[in-house]
Amino acid sequence: MCRHAAWLGAPRRLGPLLLEPAHGLLRQSYAPRLQRCGRVNADGFGFGWYDPGLEEPVRYRRTVPIWTDANVPALATCARSACLVAAVRSATPGMPVEESATAPFSEGRWLLSHNGRVERKAVRDLADGREPESVCDSAWLAAAVFARLASGGGLADAVADVVTGAAAADPDARLNLLVADGGAVVATAWNETLFTHRGEGLLVASEPLDDRPGWCAVPDRHIVHAGPGGVRVDPL
């Protein structure tokens, strides 16, 4: 159910997330190596990045397979940022295939991607009366996280609260969230795979983008918080 990746560090292009690595998100859209549910992520894709001259992130989302969009190579070369989020989608059965249901979701400075599935009734109450961008399960999760962030909650606390609350109501949920605000990235591992790679910055991905040494599996039911103070991995 989807693959996603993020970068936080010195400004870089989207290419190292999407096209250039041997197992970048382009390859993961049709041949993921570690995906536990589903075999192809062809129900859309999206990416977002932060431009220093803009108050809100820039997004590009489509409902077609990423390999069919002729704009992607140029965008992957031109889009450059210190914080990048990208995803390819395998829609949960019964969920709509539409741009509004495609990650990354956004509000203000925040970008959010969800790798997994959850019963919508398990997250409706967590959204505090907010209407999601789409009726899909991932959009409800985004609404719940954004509600907590808008009320002044910290990034890691907001994500952890929504993930643990949704899991309590739906024990079979897969709740890998990836949330960014331009200066920090938070990611969860909950019934799906998640890896980090630290070098000149931090890569977070559903599965390794290449076969370089240094990729570390995040333990299940843990949260990664990366920001100016460094990188921390804590249990949920």
Q: How confident is the model at residue 200 (pLDDT cuts 50, 70, 90)?
A: confident
Q: How many domains does the chain fold into?
A: 1
Percent of the chain, pLDDT > 70?
Answer: 100
Catalytic residue of the set 2, 37, 136, 216? 2
Does residue 176 surpass a pLDDT of 90? yes
Mean pLDDT of 142-156: 96
Say whether 66 sits in a helix, a strand or coil. Answer: helix
Q: Give the range of the structural domain holding residue 29, as residue numbers without chain letter.
A: 3-235
Q: CATH code at 122?
A: 3.60.20.10
- 162-197 burial: b if 16+ Cβ within 10 Å, else e: bbebbbeebeebbbbbbbbbbebbbbbbbbbbbbbb
For residue 216, the model assigns a pLDDT of: 97
Which tens digits make up the pLDDT trace of 57-69? 999 999 999 999 9
* pTM for the model: 0.96
Pairing assessment for the beta strands 3-13 and 80-88 based on DSSP bridges: antiparallel
The alpha carbon of residue 45 and the mean position of all alpha carbons in its chain are separated, in whole angstroms, by 11
Does residue 1 surpass a pLDDT of 80? no
Instruction: Identify whether 2 is a catalytic site residue.
Output: yes
Mean pLDDT of 33-44: 87
Query: Which of 203, 169, 235 lies closest to 4, judged by CA?
Result: 203
Pairing assessment for the beta strands 202-205 and 195-198 based on DSSP bridges: antiparallel
Does residue 208 surpass a pLDDT of 70? yes
Which tens digits make up the pLDDT trace of 216-236? 999 999 999 999 889 999 999
pLDDT averaged over the chain? 95
How far apart are the C-alpha atoms of 184 and 123, rounded to whole Å?
24
Query: Which of 140, 135, 139, 112 lies closest to 124, judged by CA?
Result: 140
Does residue 71 surpass a pLDDT of 70? yes
154, burial (CB in 10 Å: exposed 0-12, middle 13-18, buried 19+): middle
205, burial (CB in 10 Å: exposed 0-12, middle 13-18, buried 19+): buried
Mean pLDDT of 142-164: 97
How far apart are the C-alpha atoms of 9 and 4, rounded to whole Å?
17
Angle at 139 between CA 159 and CA 54, to 5 degrees: 75
Q: How confident is the model at residue 199 (pLDDT cuts 50, 70, 90)?
A: confident
Which tens digits make up the pLDDT trace of 78-137? 999 999 999 999 998 888 999 999 999 999 999 999 999 999 999 999 999 999 999 999
CA dihedral 49, 50, 54, 56 (to 10 degrees): 70
pLDDT higher at 229 or 201: 201
Mean pLDDT of 197-208: 95
Question: For residue 139, what are the contacts with CB-CB under 8 A and spacing of at least 6?
Answer: 100, 101, 105, 132, 133
